Structure 1
Amino acid sequence: GSLLESTHMMNQTTCPDASLDFTGRFLLPVYILVFITGLVANGWGLKSLLHNWNKQGNVNMFVLNLGLTDISYLLTLPFLVVYYSMGSKWIFGETFCKITRFCFNVNLYGSIGFLTCISVYRYLAIVHPMRAMGRITVTHSVMISVTVWLLVNVQSLPDMFFSKTYGNNTEKCFDTTDEAHVEDYLKYNLGWTLTGFCIPLLITLGCYGHVIVVLCSTNTIDKVLKQRSLKLMFILILLFSVCYIPYHVFRNLNLWSRVLKKQGICFKWSDGVYIARQISRVLVCLNSALNPLVYLHAHENIRAQLRRLIQQALVYSTTKLKTH
């Protein structure tokens, strides 16, 4: 212990620590706000989803699971509010600390997984409506949802085996790990970022890229519908870029700067990275309050609207022709 302490002290003299006080002051009001708005928005969203269940088709299953990931995460926020309001003192024990962090990770990667499923579903509905839509049954949606939950749990499970406290002092509850295991955690986190975030991001961007090309090159699709579909795409791309990209970039950079700090290598940017990491944690927890925006758009049955709008366009053009 004393050897560790002396090396830690030595590193502290070479590398000044960023202000930890900043984290609590910054995260506390956001957690309270997200808890209240998130519960209201998700409760309302799930209620209207269940109310209109039969009108929507099989995208429902993914939207329902998206709502469940959000609510499971929101229920852990009161414990974090207590933690930060007590000046980063954790009073619930290490096991519960790990469970809280696990729920956060499952929600985060569950959200990304189900948003990706919704994106693929939208892609099939617009680009291959005749071929794909009839073949996707409720059973398929349930099986895909179960697979997403399994993958997310498998990816998040190793996190539970990393220490979340300072040695025997259980008053801390780290969202990554302590200094002793930071190198291993960085390796694990890079793999996790690739499978849990980069691959879903590429799938989503691929789907939307193709959808945008189809929407912009087809003249039969109504202007309003085109704008609406593009708007939804921008909402989802915005969710990814605002909530998820900064979080993953700065989480890995922060871990890397900690590994360097441990080796006595200091960079001017490490404090900036630490602060950006805290801001990105706020942005990522906003996803639970913003996801209900997706409910609103998942409610519209695109195929029925497309058909109705095309019919209206045909009727309009034929009456125009007759009057001329």
Structure 2
Amino acid sequence: MHELPVTETISLTKNTSLTGCEPPYDEGRLPLVLLYSGVLAVGLPANLLTVYLTWLQVSRKNVLGVYLWSLSLCDLTYLGTLPLWAHYVSIGHWWPWSSAACKLTGYIFFNNMYISIFLLCCISCDRYVAVVYSVESRGLRRQRVAALIALAIVLLVAVGHIPVFTMREGNGAEAGCRCFEPSQSSATVTGFNYARFVVGFLIPLLVLMVTNRGILANVQRSTGLRREQKERVRWLAVAVVVLFLVCFAPYHIILLARAVIFHFPQPEDSTCLLERNMYTPYTISLGLSTVNSAVNPILYVLSSDNIRKELRRGLAQICDRATLRARSDSSKNKIQMQNSTELKLVTETHPGGKPVGS
């Protein structure tokens, strides 16, 4: 599960002619499986919770809630592919299912990666407009517009990846194949890598940096906010950019490096050595991109004042119900103990269990 080729998905069988240049599939296998498993264990419950909390905000006509709900739903779909990738990596990068399953899983994985990236940009832009242009934005920030923007992002990214279903997979229909391993470079793949780096990483990074810097500068100038509130905004602004760099920079930098290397032809032995040396960092960098799905709920959703209040309200209700249930159970136990004591006294006084005077 690696680079999404444009012309075809490379599916290598054991009898392939490239076995002499086979990537080191066993290297980094354990860390990658642990990474996928950890992200799934944290991200699944976190996103299930935030889908519910953000939906409550959507129902209350909160504009930012639309983007946050879409992001949580996107991350849930993204996380749904991790068990398959973890199993694939754990058995030595060998795809035991059909070619169609490989294409569908890769389609979902890569779709949601870039949908998530663009939604992160929408969230930062919406926060920037709400903070910097708080008065002017009252008529512009509408829930219907936010819903249309989120839907447009999903459709554009989904349509852009449809060609994966028409790609020729070589021997992919046979048992024991590779799924979305790094392809041999070509002019088309190189062009696609440049596009993914610029559109899917560089431009979103600039958007995140500019909007969060603007938010931070505006909040720092504000005289109506407490120091603790300003510190929280500063922490969030820095964390957003750092998280984006940690999760997506390594993968897209390697994509860029592969694209640049294509323009400098090298001997076959050197090319093979380079591909082998880049393989493990490449797989780990792609694994890092999944961390974003586990951290998003904590970073974005729980940093929202409205959603934090919603969470506290929900936890308070759960605690109240638990307290009432405990009190009810305690009362029942006291009544039962009292009845048992009274019955014991009666039976001890009257061994036959007959009432007094009988």
| Band the TM-score falls in, shorter-chain normalisation | 0.7 to 0.9
**Aligned partners of 1:143 and 1:283: how far apart in 2?**
30
Alignment check: 8 A CA contact 1:186 1:255 kept: yes
Question: Which has the larger Rg?
Answer: 2
**Aligned partners of 1:154 and 1:206: how far apart in 2?**
29
- Equivalent in the alignment of 2:205: 201
- Equivalent in the alignment of 1:115: 120
Matched, 1:297 2:303: yes
**Which digits, 9 at most, give the CA deviation of each residue in 1:233-254, with x for residues without a partner?**
1221122111011111123334
Alignment check: 8 A CA contact 1:94 1:165 kept: no
**Which digits, 9 at most, give the CA deviation of each residue in 1:148-201, with x for residues without a partner?**
11222133334444455656655234335543x654222212212222222222
> Which of 30, 37, 56 is 1:25 aligned to?
30
Deviation of 1:134 (Å): 3.5
**Aligned partners of 1:175 and 1:85: how far apart in 2?**
15
> Which of 144, 149, 154 is 1:144 aligned to?
149
Which secondary structure does the structure 2 equivalent of 1:297 belong to?
coil
Matched, 1:97 2:106: no
TM-score normalised by L of structure 2: 0.72
Are residues 162 and 273 of structure 1, via their aligned partners in 2, closer, same or farther at CA, if it must alter by over 3 Å? same
**Which digits, 9 at most, give the CA deviation of each residue in 1:214-233, with x for residues without a partner?**
22334443322211111111
Matches within 5 A, 1:1-324: 8=18, 12=20, 17-53=22-58, 57-163=62-168, 169=174, 171-175=176-180, 178-179=183-184, 182-254=186-258, 264=268, 266=270, 270-293=275-298, 294-300=300-306
Which secondary structure does the structure 2 equivalent of 1:92 belong to?
coil
**Aligned partners of 1:33 and 1:51: how far apart in 2?**
28
Of Structure 1 and Structure 2, the greater helix share is in 1
Partner amino acid, structure 2, of 1:238 = V
Alignment check: 8 A CA contact 2:114 2:157 kept: yes
**Aligned partners of 1:170 and 1:190: how far apart in 2?**
33
- Equivalent in the alignment of 1:315: none
Partner amino acid, structure 2, of 1:154 = V
- Equivalent in the alignment of 1:318: none
- Equivalent in the alignment of 2:6: none
**Which digits, 9 at most, give the CA deviation of each residue in 1:122-156, with x for residues without a partner?**
10111000001332111111111111112221333
CA-based RMSD: 3.0
Partner amino acid, structure 2, of 1:199 = I
Partner amino acid, structure 2, of 1:211 = I
Alignment check: 8 A CA contact 2:75 2:293 kept: yes
**Aligned partners of 1:28 and 1:110: how far apart in 2?**
24
Are residues 173 and 259 of structure 1, via their aligned partners in 2, closer, same or farther at CA, if it must alter by over 3 Å? farther
